């Protein structure tokens, strides 16, 4: 078997053209959505992601507000930028690019954000809403994964899903998303304390690998026909190495390439969150 490709790049392009039409409709009503980003430090990967977010905004007609701080910024410097964006009417939603440099604590920064401007779905109020089943912004990578599966016709309802990794941007939050009544999956969250990862993987209809361990998911541990989403990013000689061994493509039914799978969907869902929030506010 050779797996079908869950093409995040093409899917994100389709979503962006749908969003461009929705932004045009908002603008016709006098509403211009604006995405703010806060980038602290000089990590080249984070800078690349933030620049990509602003390129996407330009493509769909969302205004951009960029705030940058040096790696020497203090906790108070970062929190002051957050206060400024909370008060800026041109900024309808924003993100703080994670991770923050060592020595800065991300949780007080996230808590200080105006939850109504949380474009990432990572504010405690947004995560609480997700847990309680109340409408609100959803974390971009989990949302991108669900959208990628849906648009490729992969059945989520009733599926056994194994998620590897307990980070807040993916692992913890995707369990909450996939176990909602609307998705209706059964989710097992595996992490570094899991004794026998292969035991769980072999039963999974859908695997979400977000551990950041190169080639952790081996072909012999994947159920034939499963959908495998590779979220992990490690770098070797300047190239991305995912969490999924290339041989998995011979066993799986669907596989997301990395790069070109979940990453572009994360970016598309950020735009989606900005547009949805603007629509909610405009009563659309
Ligand atoms: N505030 C946030 N910080 C971080 C998030 C997030 O959702 N919110 N997620 C990641 C980084 N991220 C978005 O911020 C992100 C990661 C990857 C991609 C992407 O398109 N990747 C490309 C490959 C890029 C490369 O060559 O390096 C791909 O997969 O094709 C977009 C966004 C952590 N921080």
CA distance 248 to 2: 9
ipTM: 0.97
pLDDT, tens digit (0-9, with 9 covering 90-100), for 72-107: 999 999 999 999 999 999 999 999 999 999 999 999
**CA-to-CA distance for 35 and 111, rounded, in angstroms?**
18
Q: Mind telling me the catalytic residues?
A: 53, 97, 120
- Taking CB atoms and a 6 Å cutoff, what residues make up the pocket around ligand 1? 48-49, 52, 95-98, 120, 140-141, 169, 240, 258-260, 263-264, 266-267
pTM over cut 0.95:
yes
Phi, psi of 214 (to 5 degrees): -55, 130
Helix (H) or strand (E) run with residue 161 in it: strand 160-164
Distance 256 CA to ligand 1 centre (A): 15
Ligand 1 atom with the shortest distance to the CA of 96 = 1
Ligand 1 atom 16, closest CA: 263
Could you give all domains of the chain from N- to C-terminal order, each with its CATH number? 9-138+265-282 (3.40.50.10860), 140-261 (3.40.50.720)
Backbone φ/ψ region at 174: left (φ over 0), alpha (ψ -120 to 50), beta: alpha
Q: Tens digits of per-residue pLDDT, 190-244?
A: 999 999 999 999 999 999 999 999 999 999 999 999 999 999 999 999 899 999 9
- In this structure, the residue with its CA closest to atom 13 of ligand 1 is 49
């Amino acid at each position: 078997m050779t797996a079908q490709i869950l093409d995040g790049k093409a899917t994100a392009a389709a979503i962006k053209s749908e969003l461009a039409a929705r932004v045009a409709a908002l603008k016709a009503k006098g509403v211009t959505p604006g995405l703010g980003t806060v980038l602290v430090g000089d990590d080249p990967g984070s800078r690349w992601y933030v620049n990509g977010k602003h390129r996407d905004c330009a493509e769909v007609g969302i205004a951009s507000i960029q705030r940058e701080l040096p790696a020497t910024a203090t906790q108070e410097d970062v929190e002051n930028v957050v206060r400024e964006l909370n008060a800026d009417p041109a900024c309808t939603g924003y993100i703080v690019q994670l991770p923050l440099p060592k020595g800065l604590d991300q949780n007080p920064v996230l808590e200080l954000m105006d939850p109504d401007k949380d474009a990432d779905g990572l504010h405690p109020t947004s995560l609480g809403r997700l847990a309680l089943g109340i409408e609100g912004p959803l974390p971009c990578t989990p949302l991108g994964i669900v959208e990628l599966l849906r648009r490729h016709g992969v059945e989520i309802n009733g599926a056994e899903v194994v998620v590897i990794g307990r980070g807040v941007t993916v692992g913890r939050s995707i369990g909450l998303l996939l176990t909602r009544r609307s998705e209706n999956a059964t989710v097992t969250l595996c992490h570094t304390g899991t004794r026998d990862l292969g035991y769980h993987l072999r039963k999974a209809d859908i695997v979400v690998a977000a551990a950041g361990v190169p080639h952790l998911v081996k072909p012999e541990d994947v159920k034939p026909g499963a959908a495998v989403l590779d979220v992990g990013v490690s770098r070797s000689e300047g190239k991305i190495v995912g969490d999924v061994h290339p041989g998995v493509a011979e066993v799986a039914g669907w596989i997301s390439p990395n790069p070109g799978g979940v990453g572009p969907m994360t970016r598309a869902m950020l735009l989606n969150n900005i547009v949805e929030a603007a629509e909610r506010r405009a009563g659309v």
